[in-house]
Copies of this chain bind each other. A is one copy, B any other.
């Protein structure tokens, strides 16, 4: 999505250790009119798939997930990060390693909010190694719901998570796919 690619080039900050900071429009300050255009694009991509539930993970996925759910006129569920791995039978749960935070948390969704009758679109702001997305896919599988696919704002394609998930036959649509980046040479998108 050209609009997004240009915005990342203009406002994104490339840091050490493959970190791309987009705090100024996506992760801390959310440029909502802009994010609403991203949500509209997710709707365009998945509008014919019968989506009746959006799934994301706290915290930074929640905003874009809600804006996307508005286009689909459906609810959004956000998986929570729990400190305890000892959950009752009330929750679907899965351990997820965080690339950003360097720790592991248990990610949970109340069983009441995902069921076999759901057609789920996963939405998230970032995809790198795929840890969070694999966790959410696992939860959808536990629930018996149908996974329609995943809509990602920014994929750091060079970290391989997205392509590994696509190789399993899961549809992953990323609005910007970064093939390489460095403070010196900037960003190259897939296809450039």
Residues of A within 8 A of B (CB): 23-25, 28-33, 35-36, 54, 58-59, 62-67, 69-70, 73-78, 80, 109-110, 112-113
> B residues within 8 A CB of A30?
62, 66, 69, 75-78
Known: A59-B59, A62-B59, A78-B59. A69 touches B24 (CB 8 A): no
Q: Given the complex of chains A and B, what is the CA–CA distance between A62 and B60 in angstroms?
A: 8
Q: Given the complex of chains A and B, what is the CA–CA distance between A122 and B46 in angstroms?
A: 33
> B residues within 8 A CB of A67?
66-67, 70
A64: min CB distance to chain B, Å: 8
Q: Given the complex of chains A and B, what is the CA–CA distance between A29 and B64 in angstroms?
A: 15
B59 touching A29, Cβ below 8 Å? no
B69 touching A32, Cβ below 8 Å? yes
> 8 pairs across A/B with beta carbons < 8 Å?
A28-B80, A28-B109, A29-B77, A30-B75, A36-B70, A59-B59, A59-B80, A62-B63
B32 touching A78, Cβ below 8 Å? no
For the complex with contacts A63-B65, A67-B70, 9 further pairs of A-B residues with Cβ separation under 8 Å are A23-B110, A28-B80, A28-B110, A28-B113, A29-B112, A30-B76, A32-B69, A33-B73, A63-B76
Q: Given the complex of chains A and B, what is the CA–CA distance between A36 and B32 in angstroms?
A: 14
Query: Residue of B at shortest CB range from A32?
Result: B69
B63 touching A28, Cβ below 8 Å? no
Q: Given the complex of chains A and B, what is the CA–CA distance between A8 and B134 in angstroms?
A: 34
Most buried by B among A29, A64, A76, A80: A29
A143: min CB distance to chain B, Å: 13
